[in-house]
Amino acid sequence: MNLATSVPLKQIDPVRYQIPSDYDPGMRVPGRIYANEKLLVDILKDKAVHQVVNVAHLPGIVGYSMAMPDMHWGYGFPIGGVAATNIDEGGVISPGGVGFDINCGVRLVRTNFSEREVRPQLRTLVKELYHHVPAGVGSQSGLRLASTELKQVLAKGSRWAVEHGFGTPSDLEATEDDGGIKDANPDFVSERAIDRGKKQIGTLGSGNHFLEVQVIDKIFEPVIAGELNLFENQVVLMIHCGSRGLGYQVCEDFCRLFVQCLEKYQIVVPDRQLACAPVQSPEGKRYLAAMRSAANFAFTNRQYILHMVRKAFETVFGQTWEELGIHLIYDVAHNIAKIETHSRDGKNLQLCVHRKGATRAFPAGHPELSEKYRRIGQPVIIPGDMGRNSYLLIGIESAQETFYSCCHGAGRVMSRSRAQKEFKAHELIKELEARGIIVVAESLDTVTEEAPGVYKDVTEVVDVVDQAGLAKKVCRMRPIGVVKG
What residues are annotated to the active site? 408
Side by side, the strands of the sheet bearing 31-34 are: 10-13, 16-19, 31-34, 61-72, 79-86, 347-356, 336-344
Overall residue count recorded for the chain in this entry: 485
431 vs 124: CA distance, rounded Å: 20
Q: Distance between CA atoms of 184 and 293, rounded to whole angstroms?
A: 5
Angstrom distance (rounded) from CA 24 to CA 17: 17
Query: What does the longest C-alpha to C-alpha distance in the chain come to?
Result: 65
For residue 35, give the 3-state DSSP assignment: coil
Number of C-beta neighbours around residue 463 at 10 A:
17
Type and span of the H or E element at 34: strand 31-34
Determine which helix (DSSP H) or strand (DSSP E) holds 461, and give its type and residue range: helix 458-468
Which own/partner pairs from 442-445 qualify as long-range (CB within 8 Å, at least 24 positions apart)?
A: 442/135, 442/136, 442/139, 442/206, 442/484, 442/485, 443/136, 443/137, 443/206, 443/484, 443/485, 445/420
- Are the CB atoms for 299 and 155 separated by under 8 Å? no
Q: State the Cα–Cα distance between residues 323 and 304, nearest whole angstrom.
A: 19
Distance CA 66, CA 64 (A): 6
3-state secondary structure of 408: coil
Query: How far is residue 110 CA from its own chain's centroid?
Result: 19
Q: Are 419 and 451 in contact (CB under 8 A)?
A: yes
118 close to 479: Cβ distance less than 8 angstroms: no
Give residue 338's identity as a one-letter amino acid code: K
Provide the b/e sequence for 418-432 (b: ≥16 CB within 10 Å): ebeeebebeebbebb
Task: Report in angstroms the alpha-carbon separations of 393 from 44, 108, 365.
Answer: 27, 12, 16
Residue 71 backbone phi and psi in degrees, to 5: -65, 145
Q: What does the alpha-carbon distance between residue 55 and residue 58 come to, in Å, rounded to a whole number?
A: 6
